[in-house]
A = this chain, B = another copy of it.
């Protein structure tokens, strides 16, 4: 058995059963070995950022890592932005980067580059396969590292892949949770029962149903104010689910939410900082004088909250979101009415992939009382995440409807994800909120003070996407995804109903005014 097969056998023996791939010559033995490992599903992406984003979306829904197959340094580069998002989400992922054969590297062939250096910037672990016999163990080590909540990169030289002498599968270390820190727990309980104004900010693995319930009970039992981190990797929400506010994206909003807190307890979230810096404004959003106490990190936060709830709020059940949907609006589509239509029609157990950016600001409110669903968000701020993540989520949960709510500008970074959706016949409905602009940058241009002196026509042009406008119906159609354009709330509702009713991918190009439209 060659190295490639040993690697694949080890992946499937450890329940890694999907590989999102964009291979090249140095990966051909890996590709050929797929036919000898029937349990591994290979999913082709036309661009590496689609593969890495899909693996992120997959793992967030499946709760286990997918594999990714990339071609040398440039392939890793193309996948880097969504690996950055995965790193910020603590997503388990096994990234195999094919490399030149060991003896070939010294010749500095055209595709030679420093893969290791690039991989280290996004990976918890980087392993370079040095030996075919050790590859099963290397693979198991990568899987174990991934299960701890990280991108694990396995660099696979072509000769290590093609040579004979591969070992049978090696069992990877299981995912273990950090135990509850009893000192931190005791201190949190003291704070919460002290009467001091306290904010409990949750994130990480506490944004599922159990963590939310424990946190809501704590808040109800102690009077603490409960907030959820701005960009949770996977958030459970909707009717019957506790519905804490999310910390605002804009520093001004977050500052207001945190004002007056004497104590801030973190469970799975990091201490709040401004997404970007702004002239004359603080980066650290913790109010002056507020003490910060960390109860738990990204993993183990739900368990820590459960233990804390048992102590400070025994028997208490926190409030949950009531069922309730917006009325179906009518008339010309706006960001507001589009969100209302989505809230009115969101199917039960939907997976909402949210890269709506500015056009989606009211989406959370509009879907708050919709049937329970999961939301995946842009954890690392690297746009081009939504369409690929929808691919992965749909593969992880084929029986659930996936709704990708997608800003137009961000969609273009990884647009070929639509082709993979068509090829794999995935139940993904993509709604492009097409406002013809980088509206977020129009806002930021003003916020950073850049526009004070002269916000002229050249700057304006760099934030405008209307010349020419993007026709997502044609773009999607060219990749095999049926699509239609809507300009009224009524037609969006009709298109959404039709998309959800029919298997396979659909795209709706929802044309909206820019926030800055006069």
Contact = CB atoms under 8 A, between A and B. Distances in A.
A80 B461 CA distance: 25
Interface in A140-174: 158-159, 162
A108 interface: yes
A412 B158 contact: no
Contacts of A454: 32, 35-36
Contacts of A104: 273-274, 276-277, 283
Interface stretch (A39-47, A220-228, A334-342): A39-47
A172 B456 CA distance: 28
A459 B486 CA distance: 40
A134 interface: no
Interface string A443-475: 011001111011111110111010111111111
A88 B110 CA distance: 7
Contacts of A350: none
Most B CB within 10 A of own CB, among A24, A114, A379: A24
Interface in A28-68: 28-29, 31-32, 34-36, 42, 44, 46-47, 49
Contacts of A111: 84, 275-276, 380-382
A424 to B, nearest CB: 10
Interface in A373-415: 379-382, 384, 409, 412-413, 415
A26 interface: yes
A118 interface: yes
A443 to B, nearest CB: 9
Count this chain's copies in the assembly: 2
Given A42-B462, A118-B117, A472-B478, A444 B32 contact: no
Contacts of A231: 110
A23 interface: yes
Given A31-B450, A277-B101, A458-B42, A47 B121 contact: no
A418 to B, nearest CB: 10
Interface stretch (A70-78, A307-315, A495-503): A70-78
Given A277-B101, A279-B159, A32 B453 contact: yes
Contacts of A74: 80-81, 84, 380-382
Given A109-B274, A231-B110, A419-B468, A28 B444 contact: yes
In the A-B complex, the 7 residue pairs with the closest CB atoms:
A35-B456, A468-B480, A77-B80, A474-B478, A74-B382, A475-B478, A101-B277
